[in-house]
Amino acid sequence: MNRDNVEYFAAVVGAGPAGLFAARELVNAGIHATLFNRDIRPGGLAEYGIYPKKHKMKEVLRVQFRQALEMACIDYYGNVTVGNQADLTLDQLRQLGFQAIMVTAGAQGTKWLKLPGEDLRGVYHAKDLVYHYNGLPPYSEQEFEIGRHVAIVGVGNVMTDIARYLIEEKHVESVTAIARRGPGEIKFERKELGYVAANLDIKGVDEEIERAAPLMWSLGENPDRPKEFIHTVYDKAVPTDSKTRFMVRFLLSPTRILGDADGRVRALEVEENTLICENGDIKASGTGRRRIIDMDTVIFAIGDSVDEQLGLPVDRFEFVKNPQPRFEIEGNSYEAFDPETGRLIEDVFLSGWARRASTGLVGIARKDGIQGARAMIQYIQTLPKPEESPLPKIEAWMHSLGKPLVSKQDLIRLECVECEQASKLEQEEFRFTRNEEMLAAIRRLA
C-alpha cells in the first residue's frame, strides 16, 4: 500500500512494541498510522527496559521495529509527548483529523504506596533506575545515591534485573528482596534468577522457606517446590567476582522508611504478614507485628501505574476500559471508558502496558498491539471516509510546535552516527544518552 491509496488516518501514541505492531497492523488494513513518541528513539522498554547486556535480544527487536517503521504509510514524530499540558492533547489529535487514537504509552506513572519516608534520599522506583542504567534521557543524567545495603520491594523479574545491576555494576554489600507473600508466590523466572543466583545466600533463603513452611502447608502449598526451583538455579549458577550477598525475605510488607538527620534512608520498617486464601487466591494479611531492618537504600519494584497526565480516566493504576466492549477480542476490551459519565470514549483504544500496566513480556505487548489495532480497525470501518488527507495539516501543525521533531529519516541518521562512533571506540555498541547529543548527531547528517 502507498500513501495515495490510504482510506483512513489513525494516531498511535507511543512507539514501544505495542505501538509499532499496532501501527503495522493498521497499515495492513489500509489505515495510515502516525506515531507520536515521547522518546527520540522508538522501542520503549524493549530499548530502555530490557537489561543492557541482553544485546542480542535488543538487536533482534530493533530489526523488527525498523521493518515496521520502513512501511510507507507509517509516519514517526519522536520527541513528542501527548497529554494534558504536553506537546499535543488528545483533543488536538482529534482536531487534526485523526479518526481514532491508539494509546500505547506504556505505564509511565509511579505506583506510590503513600508510606511515611517515601520522600527520603535513597528511595527509588525501579522504572527510574532501569531508565537510568539503560541511558534514557533525562533519567540517564539523574543521580541515584545507591548505598551499601539495598532493599528491593517486590519479587518479580524487575527485581532480579535491579539486583543484577546492583551486584554486577554497583558491587553493593547486600541486596535484600522483600516479598509480601510467601515462597509459593515468587514471580521471577528461572532464567532471570540465574543472573543473580551465584550471589544468593542460599542458607538464609532455606531458613526463610522453613519459616514459611507451616503456613504454606496449612494452605495446601508445598514449600519443597520453591525450594527446589531456587536450588536448581543456584546449583547451576556461574561463579561471580562480585561479593554482594543476595537475600530474599518473605511475608513482609513495608510500612515506613526511616531517615537519618541528613534526610537519607537508614532503615525500613516492615509488618510481618500471614497468608490467607480468598476465592482461591493467596493473599498477604498483616499481623500487626513490626520490625526494623537496617538499610540505606530502598527500591520499589512493584510495577508501575499508567500516566494520569495523558488525559484519560484512571482507576487503580490503569486506564479505565469499556466493561462491555463493542469490539471484544479474545475476551479483552481495548476501548477507553469514562466511568464518571458512564460513556465510552469512542475514538480512543488502548493496548500493551497502557491497557494492562506492567504486565507481560515484549511478545505479549506485541500481540496486544496487534489485537488492539484489530479492534480499532473494526471501529474505523464504521466511519465515513474522509474527503481529503489530513497529513499536510498535521505536518504543518507539528512544525509550528517549534521544537525539534525526529522523523524516520532522522532515526537512520542517528544510527549511522552511533555506528560510526562505536567503530571509532572499538565497542560493540554506542548509544547517546542525552537528547541534545542525539539531536546534534541528527543535525550533522541532515
Ligand X SMILES: NC(=O)c1ccc[n+]([C@@H]2O[C@H](COP(=O)([O-])OP(=O)(O)OC[C@H]3O[C@@H](n4cnc5c(N)ncnc54)[C@H](OP(=O)(O)O)[C@@H]3O)[C@@H](O)[C@H]2O)c1
If you write DSSP's letter for every residue of 345-396 in order, what string do you get? EEEEEE-GGGTSTT-S-HHHHHHHHHHHHHHHHHHHTTSPPPSS-SHHHHHH
Binding segment for ligand FAD (CB under 6 A), chosen from 40-48, 113-121, 234-242, 254-262, is 40-48
Quick note: the x/- pattern for ligand FAD over 325-344, rule CB under 6 A, is --------------------
Please give the Cα distance from 425 to 183 (Å, whole number).
46
Beta bridge partners of 272: 252
User: What cell does 71 get?
Assistant: 512501511
Binding segment for ligand X (CB under 6 A), chosen from 134-142, 321-329, 335-343, 358-366, is 358-366
Binding segment for ligand FAD (CB under 6 A), chosen from 221-229, 254-262, 351-359, 393-401, is 351-359
Residues making up the chain, counted from first to last: 446
Quick note: the x/- pattern for ligand X over 206-245, rule CB under 6 A, is ----------------------------------------
Beta strands of 260-309 (E only): which ranges? 265-278, 281-294, 297-300
Residue 435 binds which of ligand FAD, ligand X, none (CB < 5-8 A, kind-dependent): none
How many Å is the maximal CA-CA distance in the chain? 71
Tell me, rounded to whole angstroms, the distance of Cα 198 from its chain centroid.
Answer: 27
CB 144 within 8 A of CB 129: yes
User: What cell does 9 get?
Assistant: 488516518
Instruction: Determine if 435 is a binding residue for ligand FAD (CB under 6 A).
Output: no
Please give the Cα distance from 166 to 230 (Å, whole number).
20
Binding segment for ligand FAD (CB under 6 A), chosen from 37-45, 109-117, 181-189, 377-385, is 37-45
SS3 352: helix
Binding segment for ligand X (CB under 6 A), chosen from 313-321, 355-363, 415-423, 436-444, is 355-363
* Residue nearer to ligand FAD on the CB measure, 89 or 421: 89
Question: Which of 122, 127, 188 shows the shortest CA–CA distance to 160?
Answer: 188
Residue 44 binds which of ligand X, ligand FAD, none (CB < 5-8 A, kind-dependent): ligand FAD
Instruction: Determine if 180 is a binding residue for ligand X (CB under 6 A).
Output: yes
CB 276 within 8 A of CB 127: no
Residues at the contact surface with ligand FAD, assessed by CB under 6 A: 13-19, 36-39, 44-46, 49-50, 54, 81-83, 104-106, 108, 130, 158, 161, 307, 310, 352-354, 360-362, 365
Residues at the contact surface with ligand X, assessed by CB under 6 A: 113, 153-159, 161, 179-181, 185, 187, 192, 253, 301-303, 358-361
